[in-house]
Amino acid sequence: MPPVLPNKPQHPRGKLASIEHGCSLLDQALDFIRPRLLPGQTELQIKKQINNWLKKAGAMGFAFPTIVAFGSHTANIHHRPSHRKLTKNQIIMIDLGIKINGWCSDETRMFILGRPKTVWIKTYNQVLAAQKKAIQALKQTTVPAKQIDSIPRKYFPIPHSVGHGLGKIIHVRPKINPNSQDMIKPGDIFTLEPGRYFPGRFGIRIEDTLLKTKTGYRLLTKFPK
């Protein structure tokens, strides 16, 4: 069953509570849209359904334009949803983020309608394993951001930063890229989003929002991967 909307959404206060609440709404929005990913729906129609649900659920703004991509469009890192229709046996990318009290949240998940191609599953498992390796490296109290960025790149090329801090805008410190001089430290809230892309064919990106703790991390986005 899709999540039930509250009559009057209640918003927490503070950075962590606001982002955590935002992440929970992203998870619920993905749960809402999953059974609605049906043949004939366009990228724009799916985007509209997601955005409408999030607004009704209490989103106080969007961190960035919601990305919905079908098929070869998933290889476009910053794809703008179009009138492309969803077909059977198709791959789907949804990247979404909202603001609660001005604080941003961010999450990306992949879906497959119908029968998956072997290469999709193989690539998905590669990206997921790379993300897990990067997350596992967060067990130190503080860790160089570029070290975290380097881990997924050992498995495949990535044409963008592996992650970024979240704040009142979608990209803040710590910067998680090859040239970063930042440290990831307890209290930091950031994303990890490795992706692999094959232009004209398909792309896979998996993104979570995390909180760095003294002994490791806590996932704030929890939709199944």
Q: Which range (6-15, 47-56, 86-95) has the least confidence?
A: 6-15
| Chain centre to alpha carbon of residue 97 | 8
Q: Which range (7-16, 26-35, 215-224) has the least confidence?
A: 7-16
Helices (H) and strands (E) in the chain, counts: 4, 14
Are 41 and 12 contacting, i.e. CB atoms less than 8 angstroms apart? Answer: no
Q: Where are the domains of the chain?
A: 15-219
**Global confidence as pTM:** 0.94
177 pLDDT band, cuts 50/70/90, is: very high
| Domain at 15-219: CATH architecture | Alpha-Beta Complex (3.90)
| DSSP label at residue 124 | H
Question: Is residue 171 pLDDT above 90, yes or no?
Answer: yes
Question: Is residue 183 pLDDT above 90, yes or no?
Answer: yes
**Which residues lie across from 192 on neighbouring strands?**
163, 208
Specify the 3-state DSSP secondary structure of 121.
Answer: helix
What integer pLDDT is reported at residue 13 of this predicted model? 77
Helix (H) or strand (E) holding 216: none
